[in-house]
Amino acid sequence: MQDEIVVEDQRMLKLVDPTARLERLWTGATWSEGPVWWKDGSVTWSDIPNNRMLRWHPVTGGSVFRQPSNHSNGHTLDREGRLISCEHSGRRISRTEADGTVVTVVDRYQGKRLNSPNDVVVKNDGTIWFTDPSYGILSDDEGVKADSEIGACHVYRFDPEKEELTIVADDFEKPNGLAFSPDESLLYVSDTGVSHLENGPHHIRVFDVVDGRTLVGSRVFAKIKPGASDGFRIDARGNVFTSAHDGIQIYAPDGVRLGKITVPEIVANCTFGGPDGNWLFIAASTSLYSIVLKTSGGKI
Ligand code: MG
Q: How far is the CA of 230 from the centre of ligand 1 (A)?
A: 4
Q: How far is the CA of 103 from the centre of ligand 1 (A)?
A: 22
Q: Are strands 175-180 and 92-96 parallel, antiparallel or unpaired?
A: unpaired
Contact status, residue 176 vs residue 196, Cβ threshold 8 Å: no
- Mean pLDDT, to the nearest integer, of 18-47? 97
Q: Secondary structure of 183-195 in the HEC alphabet?
A: CCCEEEEEECHHH
Q: How far is the CA of 129 from the centre of ligand 1 (A)?
A: 14
- Note the pLDDT of residue 181: 97
Instruction: Flag whether pLDDT at 298 surpasses 80.
Output: no
Q: How far is the CA of 231 from the centre of ligand 1 (A)?
A: 5
Q: How far is the CA of 39 from the centre of ligand 1 (A)?
A: 23
C-alpha torsion angle, residues 28, 204, 74, 268 (rounded to 10): 0
pTM score, whole prediction: 0.96
Q: How far is the CA of 229 from the centre of ligand 1 (A)?
A: 8
End-to-end CA distance of the chain: 29
- Note the pLDDT of residue 132: 98
Q: How far is the CA of 245 from the centre of ligand 1 (A)?
A: 13
pLDDT digits (tens, 9 = 90+) for 227-282: 999 999 999 999 999 999 999 999 999 999 999 999 999 999 999 999 999 999 99
- Note the pLDDT of residue 300: 47
**CA nearest 74: which of 153, 141, 131?**
131
- Note the pLDDT of residue 299: 54
Task: Measure the CA–CA gap between 87 and 224, rounded to whole angstroms.
Answer: 26
- Mean pLDDT, to the nearest integer, of 45-66? 98
Contact status, residue 55 vs residue 62, Cβ threshold 8 Å: yes
Q: How far is the CA of 201 from the centre of ligand 1 (A)?
A: 14
- Note the pLDDT of residue 151: 97
**CA nearest 19: which of 289, 261, 268?**
261
Q: How far is the CA of 59 from the centre of ligand 1 (A)?
A: 28
Instruction: Flag whether pLDDT at 94 surpasses 50.
Output: yes
- Note the pLDDT of residue 196: 87
Most distant CA pair in the chain, distance: 53
Q: How far is the CA of 118 from the centre of ligand 1 (A)?
A: 5
Q: How far is the CA of 27 from the centre of ligand 1 (A)?
A: 20
Q: How far is the CA of 261 from the centre of ligand 1 (A)?
A: 19
Q: How far is the CA of 137 from the centre of ligand 1 (A)?
A: 14
- What confidence category does residue 30 fall into, taking pLDDT thresholds of 50, 70 and 90? very high
- Note the pLDDT of residue 169: 98
Q: How far is the CA of 33 from the centre of ligand 1 (A)?
A: 7
User: Average pLDDT over the chain, rounded to whole?
Assistant: 96
Instruction: Flag whether pLDDT at 117 surpasses 90.
Output: yes
Q: How far is the CA of 133 from the centre of ligand 1 (A)?
A: 9
- What confidence category does residue 3 fall into, taking pLDDT thresholds of 50, 70 and 90? low
C-alpha torsion angle, residues 99, 101, 105, 108 (rounded to 10): 180
Q: Tell me, rounded to whole angstroms, the distance of Cα 238 from its chain centroid.
A: 16
